[in-house]
């Protein structure tokens, strides 16, 4: 006589396609279980997990559900927050930065021009024959 628990497991495996976990839809694609098809996590999937962490889901339960270490979840969260801060701290179209970039470009052009003129003058000096003094 088959065990009732094993019958439920078999039915669950047939529904989800995996013994590891449920099928979740992320960004239009299907992902099964705790790890992706090649054993690596995609950027979209990591982003979804980080959003869940930021919404306040406990790390220990997420770790068990996804099969990912707590330290790795914390690392993903910290990287996402650092990237977000860096993205928000940049000013786009900052007029002071544009003026500085323009000035630096002009300084570079003038420095190169000075070097070329200096070398040209030195070459003319060496070609000019000096008359001996009497």
Same domain, 85 and 121: no
CA dist., res. 86 & res. 79, Å (int)? 11
**C-alpha angle 54/56/59, rounded to 5°?**
90
Residue 10 lies in a domain: no
Same domain, 22 and 80: yes
Residue 67 lies in a domain: yes
Residue 5 lies in a domain: no
Same domain, 28 and 50: yes
Residue 134 lies in a domain: no
Provide the domain limits for residue 121: 91-128
Residue 1 lies in a domain: no
Same domain, 26 and 71: yes
How many structural domains comprise the chain? 2
**Please, which pLDDT band fits residue 33 given cuts at 50, 70 and 90?**
low
Residue 7 lies in a domain: no
Same domain, 82 and 59: yes
In this prediction the pTM is: 0.44
Q: pLDDT tens, 64-107?
A: 999 889 999 999 999 999 998 888 877 677 788 889 999 999 99
pLDDT surpasses 60 at 3: no
Pair 79, 85: CB distance under 8 Å: no
Same domain, 33 and 80: yes
Residue 9 lies in a domain: no
């Amino acid at each position: 006589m088959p065990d009732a628990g094993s019958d439920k497991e078999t039915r669950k495996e047939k529904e989800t396609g995996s013994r590891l976990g449920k099928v979740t839809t992320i960004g239009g694609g299907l992902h099964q279980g705790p790890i992706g098809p090649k054993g690596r996590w995609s950027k979209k999937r990591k982003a979804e997990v980080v959003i869940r962490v930021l919404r306040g889901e406990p790390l220990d339960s997420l770790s068990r559900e996804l099969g990912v270490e707590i330290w790795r979840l914390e690392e993903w969260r910290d990287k996402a927050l650092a990237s977000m801060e860096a993205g928000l701290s940049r000013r786009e179209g900052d007029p002071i930065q544009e003026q500085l970039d323009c000035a630096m470009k002009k300084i570079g052009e003038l420095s190169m021009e000075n070097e070329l003129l200096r070398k040209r003058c030195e070459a003319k000096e060496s070609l000019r024959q000096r008359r001996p003094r009497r």
